[in-house]
C-alpha cells in the first residue's frame, strides 16, 4: 500500500498515526502505532460497513459524539503527528461514503491543528502544525 510506504519513509518510528476509515493495515505495513484508542473509525459514525451504504449517505445523525470527543482527546493527548484520510478519492474500503468532512467536530480539529503534507496514491496525509 503506497500510503504505508510513504509513512514508513517519511515519519519517525515513534510518531503516532491516526487513520480515518478502516485501513488498519496502514499501521502494520508502515510499522507505526495508532494515535487513538480506535483502530478503525466505524464506531464514530454509526458502526456501519460503508460498502452497504449508498453514495451521498448523510451520516450526521449517526455520529457518536462521545467517540468523536474521545478521538480528539486522544489526538491531543498523544500529540499524534500524522492523520491519514482514507475517505478521499482513493476510497479505501468504500470510506468515501463516510467522509471525514461529515464529522464536523473532528474535521474542524484536524483543519485547525494539521496541514496537508502529501497525497500518496491519492490519500491525503496531514502533519501536526
Q: How is residue 93 written as a grid cell? A: 474500503
Q: Which residues, in sequence order, are CB contacts of 82 under 8 Å at separation 6+?
A: 7, 11, 15, 16, 17, 18, 32, 35, 125, 126, 127, 128
Which letter, b or e, does each residue of 5-20 get, where b requires 16 or more Cβ atoms within 10 Å of its Cβ?
A: ebbeeebeeebbbbbb
Structural domains in the chain (count): 1
Note down the domain range covering 50: 2-128
Q: How is residue 70 written as a grid cell? A: 474521545
Q: What is the pLDDT of residues 44-68, one digit of tens each?
A: 999 999 999 998 899 999 999 999 9
Mean pLDDT of the chain: 94
pLDDT for the residue 18: 98
Q: What is the pLDDT of residues 90-105, one digit of tens each?
A: 678 899 999 999 999 9
Amino acid at each position: 500500500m503506497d500510503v504505508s510506504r510513504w509513512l514508513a519513509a517519511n515519519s519517525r518510528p515513534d510518531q503516532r498515526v491516526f487513520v480515518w476509515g478502516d485501513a488498519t493495515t496502514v499501521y502494520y505495513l508502515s510499522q507505526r502505532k495508532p494515535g487513538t484508542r480506535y483502530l478503525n473509525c466505524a464506531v464514530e459514525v454509526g458502526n456501519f460497513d460503508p460498502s452497504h451504504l449508498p453514495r451521498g449517505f448523510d451520516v450526521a445523525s449517526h455520529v457518536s459524539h462521545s467517540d468523536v470527543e474521545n478521538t480528539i482527546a486522544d489526538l491531543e493527548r498523544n500529540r499524534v503527528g500524522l492523520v491519514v484520510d482514507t475517505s478521499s478519492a482513493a476510497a479505501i474500503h468504500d470510506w468515501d461514503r463516510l467522509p471525514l468532512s461529515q464529522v464536523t467536530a473532528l474535521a474542524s480539529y484536524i483543519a485547525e491543528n494539521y496541514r496537508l503534507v502529501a497525497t500518496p496514491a491519492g490519500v491525503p496525509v496531514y502533519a501536526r502544525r
